[in-house]
Chain A
Amino acid sequence: MRLDLATYPVKEVKLGSSTAYKDGVLEIDPDALAAEVLSDPRIATARIELASPGESVRIWPVRDVIEPRIKVEGPGVVYPGICDRPMTLVGSGRTNRLSGVSVVEVSEVQWHDAGHDWVWLFIDMLGPWGELNPYSGLFNICVVVEPHDELHVDVKNRAVHNASLTVSDRLAATTASAEPAEVRTYELKPSSPPLPKVVFIQGVHSSQGTSGNPNTFCTSIYGATHLELPRALHPNEMLDGAMTGPYRTAFATSWTLANNPLMEQLYDRHGVDFDFVGVIPMRTEWTRQDEKDWIGQETARLAYMMGADGAVVTWDAGGNEQVEVIRVVQACERMGIKAVFVTHEDISGSADGVSSLLEPVKELDALVSTGTIGGSDSMPAILPGVERVIGSPTKLVGDLRDESIPTAGPQKALPMYDDHYGFNNLIGMEY
């Protein structure tokens, strides 16, 4: 499977009367893009707004961040399956990407209506959170969109995400006649003489358990979001967005899945330190204990049958999920697959000698710390206010989410900060 990924860097975004890319400048026509979104009868309101790096802007509520990509040669479309896009196998041919720019999905639509699982991500372009989130350095083209209220929550989810993908497709299409700054070929040929084989195991949350609905909207694999047994993907498929769409935490977006630094490192060092043989997405947040115990063994067996000698294991976020991915590490080690686990830490009990992991097991002998939001000097408990808001001017906060505050004002830092793909350089250390 050979994929050429052509990069078209964006150094400036201008609002204008047409949508075009030339010499690093992306001109967008916000009204025309909004009109295209509004042509979907499910959509009630839509507008396009721009947040540029260095601006004192907060974007709220953020459901997803998407990198504009487009398949220009070879089978399928990028971000396949989700929102009823074609389900053709991707990962070969040529894909163009606009780097340095994103489409941000801004909407009040919640993931499902079973409660608790609120959208809470906001992006600060400046300040402590601006420094830590990987989106503040991008030109963020925000699709502020709401669907008609009478629609079912699943339909609303797909409608607003489709709106973002419509804009993303339209922007990526501007690369058609331009020259890329770089074309990189991703192929992963087997080495001779052979090197140890490694896989990337990625826990990926399904909201089926919390919503009670197998069709619930969340991170999709070729459009599927339900709890299912692990799959094997060629890493190139990840670059084409075979796994895409948001989860409820800051770092689990379409953009981070397509720009995963762990994946980049695995590609870079293929043929040098090891052979990178595949990606295994493992669905998480199972309900019963025996399911939680079993899913790790299923995943380890698949890695074993792919010939893996080693695995790097991570996941999007969450406690149930951490318990499940720790079981994958355990199962891999028991089958002789050497695993490295990338995880955040909860250091709140460490002065009392309490483990910073939810489920410490002895097989966890190669852990990489991504730090955590709590107890870190990098992220104060209260984030400063901003000059301008894109999205909703007020937001609901509080334990019971019944207190309204101005979005532009100072407010609590995000409750979960799980940099599980390793964008930053935080680390937990013994002191």
Chain B
Amino acid sequence: MTVRIVHYLNQFFAGEGGDEAAGMPLKAVDGPIRSGTLLQSILGDQGEVVGTLVCGDNYANEETEAALEAAGEALDRFKPDVVIAGPAFNAGRYGLACGEIGKLAESRGIRAVAAMHEENPGVAQHGRGVYILKTGESPTEMKEAVTHLAAFALKLARGEEIGPAAEEGYATRTRKIVRSPHPIARRAIDMLAAKVNGRPFQTEIPVILPDRVEPAPPIVDMSTARIALITTGGLIPRGNPERQTAGNPEQYYTYSIEGMTALDGNDWEAFHGGYFNGTASDNPNYILPLAQLRTLEDRGVVGSIYETLFTMPGVGTPVPKARRLGAQIAEELVAQEVDGALLVAT
């Protein structure tokens, strides 16, 4: 089977011109051009570059919707098995356009691969969604890059197993748990021996430092501020009428505290898999200090307490889910014109 390939190039690599041609709309031409002919010669009879999409970088990034619509029509016509985009090397706008084209192809069930330098913004923007092969910074490495693209595209088209990112040379998309030829204990003590003896070693887990959350500007006047109460301490109405879980919740729960002066241990309890619940069940104000906040409200230190409390058990919740729940709460607070929130962790 000859694999049908569509190749994407920007105006410069298609020979249409430099910055002065960067506004050109997307056009589709039959067969390979420029680096596409190199690609075709490497593919030999295993693949055929049936068409080439060419677009100006400015057009692709500023009129993305129109560019993608035109690209979609061309893909319908060419019916490729794989779309190859680039290589874009360190050209940022070109890299971003390659990622968009790859994403479009994948969304239509067409396999796609792009290539660019790892610091090209296209990698950060699209690397988790589209296979992006790593290249050098400049077109002097065109031949290596196109050879790599050709081999990878054939693998994709044939449904062959794609190996780990480091082995195949693409930017990380995700992590998988697989089997190593070496037992864990052996790997661990090999690494220790290397590290204490100053020999090189390779960590097995990349450290992705957490997002820094920029704090909101301070509240100027607390005496007029509306404050919401949020806890991840697993506060539930006594008896757990909603059948909440003790950890890793699917949702947060809200309860009205309107007119309530304190949380009463007869009405509320703690249900949380990560700490001793007895103390908080006796006095739920430990995990949501309503009593103390009401005192501050009475004294005029705090303007008012928002009438709905937010609660969930934080324990065992993966970051993406915690992000989603947090964003939902924040949205609700913004909509209700709440000025600040007291978040009680356990």
Contacts and interface: CB of A to CB of B under 8 A. Distances in A.
B189 A266 contact: yes
B255 interface: no
B124 to A, nearest CB: 9
Nearest to A337: B196
A86 interface: no
Q: Which of B174, B197, B210, B279 has the most CB of A within 10 A?
A: B174
A53 B318 CA distance: 36
Given A211-B276, A350-B174, A431-B164, A269 B128 contact: no
Interface string B188-202: 110111011100010
Contact of A400 (B196, B203, B245, B278): B245
B174 A347 contact: yes
Interface residues of A, number: 73
A430 B180 contact: no
B208 to A, nearest CB: 4
B335 interface: no
B204 A431 contact: no
Interface in B178-236: 178-189, 191-193, 195-197, 201, 203-210
12 contacts: A261-B184, A265-B185, A338-B195, A347-B175, A354-B208, A355-B208, A360-B210, A378-B177, A400-B240, A425-B183, A428-B204, A429-B164
B246 A431 contact: no
Contact of A355 (B174, B183, B210, B277): B210
Contacts of A193: none
A399 B184 CA distance: 32
Contact of B191 (A320, A340, A353, A376): A340
Contacts of A116: 246, 272-273, 277
A286 to B, nearest CB: 11
A364 B205 CA distance: 9
B249 to A, nearest CB: 10
B166 interface: yes
Contact of B181 (A319, A371, A425): A425
Contacts of A261: 183-185
Given A366-B191, A427-B187, A427-B204, 19 more contacts: A116-B273, A265-B189, A266-B189, A274-B193, A340-B192, A349-B318, A351-B128, A364-B205, A366-B203, A371-B177, A372-B177, A376-B177, A378-B177, A400-B245, A423-B184, A425-B181, A427-B177, A429-B165, A431-B174
A347 B273 CA distance: 22
Contact of A361 (B175, B197, B207): B207
A369 to B, nearest CB: 4
A349 B210 CA distance: 12
A422 B183 contact: yes
A364 B207 CA distance: 7
A290 to B, nearest CB: 14
Q: Which of A115, A364, A426, A430 has the most CB of B within 10 A?
A: A430
Interface string A406-428: 00000000000001011111111
B243 interface: yes
Given A114-B276, A364-B207, A425 B182 contact: yes
A23 to B, nearest CB: 31
A369 B162 contact: no
B64 interface: no
A309 B194 CA distance: 12
A400 B178 CA distance: 32
Nearest to B207: A360
B237 to A, nearest CB: 15
A51 interface: no
Given A116-B246, A310-B192, A352-B320, A264 B177 contact: no
Contacts of A198: 192, 196
B276 A262 contact: no
A345 B166 CA distance: 19
Contacts of B208: 353-355, 360
Contacts of B315: 319
A196 B196 contact: yes
Give the 4 A-B CB pairs with smallest separation, nearest first. A422-B184, A422-B185, A261-B185, A310-B196
A423 B180 CA distance: 12
Contacts of B275: 209-210, 287
A375 interface: yes
Interface string A370-385: 1110011110000000
Contacts of A400: 240, 243, 245
B319 interface: yes
Contacts of A396: none
Contacts of A354: 208, 318-320
B192 A345 contact: no
Contacts of A345: 175, 177, 205
Interface string B90-106: 00000000000000000
Given A269-B193, A360-B207, A400-B245, A320 B274 contact: yes
A371 B205 CA distance: 10
B164 A349 contact: no
A342 interface: yes
Contacts of A342: 184, 188
